[in-house]
Chains A and B, each alone.
Chain A
Amino acid sequence: MKTATCLALTIALVTGAAASADTSDKRIALSNNYAGNSWRQAMLESWEATAGQAVSDGVVAAADAFTTAENQATEQAAQIQNMILQGYDAIVLNAASPTALNGAVMEACDAGIVVVSFDGIVEEPCAWRIAVDFEQMGSDQIDYLAGRLPDGGDLLEIRGLAGVFVDDAISRGIHDGVAANPQFSVAGSVNGDWAQDVAQRAVAGILPSLPEIVGVATQGGDGYGAAQAFEAAGRDMPIIVLGNRQDELQWWAEQRDANGYETMSVSIAPGVSTLAFWVAQQVLDGAEVPKDLTVPFLRIDQADLDQALETTPEGGVANTEYDLEAAQQVISDASS
């Protein structure tokens, strides 16, 4: 009886302490699978800015970023194992694969480490997931085009890198959107690998065989290349949905000023890494955080264009970074 009371008291003390725990001695690591494009670079810079500030403010003891060289799941699993050995309290993860890292993530959880995955999420249930509704990102584009083009017509779809789940999800959303709007049909589909020059090359190759195209659905990082290809072929410029890159926004503004061109731009803000940072910090702090969170896309419409251009660094990507309050807002929205 005495031991039982003692035990209960200890548990109460421990949990009570956890709820108001101070995170100033906690160390957080970022495990990132790829850094080879402007979106990932912006993501890392956002992390450095926000997490670096949090470290100097004494909110956490460390927030180190690590990127694997080869974008391989095996390599990232080894990286996570190193982080476990180094004794980090939380690992924030942009994963190379939704399934292949499950083993390493479980090891981290078993070692009492908080794992928060974002953008490239992991399926392992012990981890938190900050997911993007990629399918909606696809279907939203078709909804927008349906509003602009009530008569419908032929669309061109630019996909990402074949075999990556993000590509499948966005494409599924686009095709679901087309199924719901039968006035549209997808006349052609190419892989642009989320890179301007690859998209330009692929679109230039398929254009000769296509009928008149009224709209182009994209995945981000490929809209400017598509516009270049249409221009080079001397065809009428369709409504190209853009992906928040500064050169795309710049081109949009130029077209708008020249001939009143209208479109919209949608992508994920690279600053989602800062949301993941605060979620990890909140979990360490003992806050109740649901395992599945959804991050909204960053959408730019005609009216927001000038402001977005002003705040986006030249050659970079439009961005929003999260502070603690914004992150707590996302958490409380998801809890309710």
Chain B
Amino acid sequence: MSALLDRPWIWAWLAAFAAFAATAAISQSQGIAGLLVAALTFSAFTVLVGLGQMFVITLGPGNIDLSIPATMTLAATLSLKFMGGAGALALPGLAVALAVGLGAGLVNYALILLLRIPPIIATLAASFVYQSLAIWSNRGLRIKPPDLLSDLMLGRTLGLPNVAYIALAACLLAWVALERARYGREVTAIGQNLRAARFAGIAVERVRCATYLLSAALAGVTGFLLACFAGGAALNMGQEYLLSSIAVVVIGGSSIGGGRSNVPGVPAGAMFLFLIVSMLNSYGLGAGVRLLLTGVIIVGIVALGTRSRTAR
């Protein structure tokens, strides 16, 4: 038990369960299953972008990707415009979204490396460019996704939403990459001590480049999936995910200073973010109280997570 309590991500899971129980307590019995399905569905998108952000944050102080919302919007806009509602173009459409994401990641990294701009500024500045491109390409008109894709995104398999399986698969891959693969070791080493990592012979810039590409690619694919789920791309569709992609990393018990991350905390943080809003809405609290309580609870979880880490 105490070994479990030492895990930095355990508090996020406990908080998510508590929020779920509190909401379920005032729900009708058939509503509880609905709440679970909704939580799994909507947190899936946050998980996907959160994993990308987690790898970037792991790289160490100053590393952050603020271009995630704009990359999502641009990838979704361009890929849905490309498909034009034709189901036969579903896979090429996904490829377009992925390519847009990779392109954005490359631009981000080029700004960071070549112009020596701090990542926080580089990705923020680049995001204005991506957002403007999205506006310019379609002027905010909403193009419907192919029925095939929207059915797939809205559908369920064995009672659970399909998007949750996608998020689960991404978590498993991310866990392997972080804990078992050389790439994850290198990312963690860079985050813990950049100089030591260089002396150890790690190709630091190559790993950083790969990480910014990974984050942007995940953002692009998530934008594509979200647009198919929500019935079209919108210019403000990514807005929610700027803070939530960072919040799930921190709530999940990863260090914001980098060098110490964990995958299990990301889905817990995403579920918690959805459930806390549902809980406070269900209890009829206004937006002011809701934001206040959300902030206080997040600080609480992070404080507990940090304590269990230092105690170890």
Which A residues fall within an 8 A CB radius of B? 35-38, 40-42, 45, 69, 159, 162-163, 188-191, 193, 195-198, 200-202, 204-210, 224-225, 228-229, 232-234, 245-247, 313-316
Contact = CB atoms under 8 A, between A and B. Distances in A.
A318 B41 CA distance: 31
B274 A201 contact: yes
Interface residues of B, number: 46
A314 B143 CA distance: 8
Q: What 10 pairs across the A-B complex have the smallest Cβ distances? A: A208-B31, A205-B278, A41-B140, A315-B142, A315-B141, A162-B287, A209-B282, A38-B140, A204-B38, A208-B27
23 contacts: A36-B239, A37-B140, A37-B235, A162-B288, A189-B281, A195-B234, A197-B234, A198-B240, A201-B42, A201-B274, A202-B277, A204-B34, A205-B275, A206-B281, A208-B27, A209-B23, A209-B27, A228-B231, A233-B34, A233-B38, A245-B142, A313-B141, A316-B140
Interface string B215-238: 000000000001001111011110
B231 A247 contact: yes
A9 to B, nearest CB: 53
Contacts of B131: 36
A35 B232 CA distance: 18
B287 A315 contact: no
A200 B237 CA distance: 12
A162 B235 CA distance: 19
Contacts of B154: 232
Contacts of A159: 287
Interface in B214-272: 226, 229-232, 234-237, 239-240
A133 to B, nearest CB: 23
A224 B154 CA distance: 15
Nearest to A41: B140
A315 B143 contact: yes
Contacts of A190: 281
B240 A45 contact: no
Given A204-B38, A209-B282, A314-B141, A162 B231 contact: no
Q: Among A190, A201, A205, A210, find the residue whose CB has the most chain B CB atoms closer than 10 A.
A: A205
Nearest to B288: A162
Nearest to B282: A209
B288 A45 contact: no
A45 B139 contact: yes
A248 B275 CA distance: 27
Contacts of B230: 196-197, 200, 225, 228
A205 B281 contact: yes
B282 A196 contact: no
A232 B35 CA distance: 11
Given A209-B23, A209-B26, A315-B141, A38 B234 contact: yes
Q: Among A198, A229, A234, A245, find the residue whose CB has the most chain B CB atoms closer than 10 A.
A: A198
Contacts of A197: 226, 229-230, 234, 237, 240
A270 to B, nearest CB: 10
A205 B143 contact: no
Interface string B18-52: 00000110111001101101110110000000000
B235 A204 contact: no
A199 to B, nearest CB: 10
B133 to A, nearest CB: 13
Contacts of A232: 37-38, 41, 154
A232 to B, nearest CB: 7
B95 interface: no
Nearest to B43: A201
Nearest to B38: A204
Given A189-B284, A202-B281, 19 more contacts: A36-B131, A36-B135, A37-B140, A41-B139, A162-B287, A162-B288, A195-B236, A196-B232, A197-B237, A204-B42, A205-B35, A205-B274, A207-B34, A208-B24, A209-B27, A209-B31, A232-B41, A245-B142, A316-B140
Nearest to A227: B231
Nearest to A233: B34
Contacts of B231: 196, 224, 228, 247
Nearest to A45: B139
Contacts of B288: 162
A247 B232 contact: yes
Contacts of B141: 38, 41, 313-316
B277 A208 contact: no
A41 B31 contact: no
A153 to B, nearest CB: 16
Contacts of B232: 196, 247, 315
Contacts of B135: 35-36, 41
Nearest to A251: B231
Contacts of B35: 205, 208
Contact of B277 (A42, A205, A234, A315): A205
Q: Among A40, A198, A209, A225, find the residue whose CB has the most chain B CB atoms closer than 10 A.
A: A209
A190 B42 CA distance: 16
A266 to B, nearest CB: 19
A90 B37 CA distance: 54
Contact of A37 (B143, B236, B284): B236
Contact of B38 (A36, A38, A205, A315): A205
A42 B141 CA distance: 9
Contacts of B236: 36-37, 193, 195
Nearest to A44: B139
A234 B142 CA distance: 26
Contact of A208 (B34, B235, B237, B286): B34
B291 interface: yes
